[in-house]
Amino acid sequence: MSKFIGLVGLMFLGLQGFSQEIKFFNQRPKKNISIGLGADGGILSLNHEKLHLFTFKLMMSNKIGIGLTQDYSFSNPQNYFISLPANISFCFGKRRVLFEVGFGATVFLQINEPFYQFCFYPIIGYRWQPLKMDKLFLKIFAALPNKLNQSNISISESEILFVPIGINIGKSF
């Protein structure tokens, strides 16, 4: 009988530790809003991100945004563009530090002219995702589109500036 009580006690302690991990996992923020510099949104972008938590160490991220960019001539730009980035990625890691891999696409709409350009790209990056709401979110990543012109970091055939390295800084809620 004492072995049975000891076994039940051991199982109770094990489940107690497991339930604390689940409780902690469910408290992770599920949305981010951020300002992006470079990469998928152009020079500057505003992004909203929704996180889908699978386990404590794995989550999926869906991001949409709106941004601004120009042609690759910094001194005398002739064209300006509105960018509409969207991406999906998977984040792996422990607690706050996560490795991110996924893919995305951006539509660039030229201002005052009926021109648009579409580009598709893989994403690889590093993410610092807070465990509590209303905390700082940071993401550093690289997005290399298939149409990147290597000589002037523009999207080929359009001269849209596309900086392959990006930083997103924002707030989790």
Encode pLDDT of 113-162 as tens digits: 888 888 999 999 999 999 889 999 999 999 988 777 766 677 777 788 88
Domain that holds residue 52: 29-172
Confirm whether 92 is domain-assigned.
Answer: yes
Q: Which residue has the higher pLDDT, 165 or 158?
A: 165
The CATH number for 64's domain is: 2.40.160
Average pLDDT over residues 42-51: 96
The residue assigned the tokens 């990543």 is 141
- Answer whether residue 5 is part of any domain: no
Please report whether residue 14 resides in a domain.
no
Q: Quick check: is 51 in a domain?
A: yes
Counts for the chain of helices (H) and strands (E), in that order: 1, 11
For residue 35, the model assigns a pLDDT of 97
Mean pLDDT within 13-30: 58
In a domain, 127, yes or no: yes
Contact 50, 28 (CB under 8 A): no
Q: Could you tell me the pTM of the whole model?
A: 0.80
How much is the pLDDT for 19?
Answer: 41
pLDDT for residue 51: 95
Contact 65, 39 (CB under 8 A): no
Tens-digit pLDDT profile for residues 76-120: 888 899 999 999 999 999 888 999 999 999 999 999 888 888 899
Q: Is residue 136 part of a domain?
A: yes
Residue 11 lies in a domain: no
Residue type, 131: L
Residue 70 lies in a domain: yes
Domain count of the chain?
A: 1
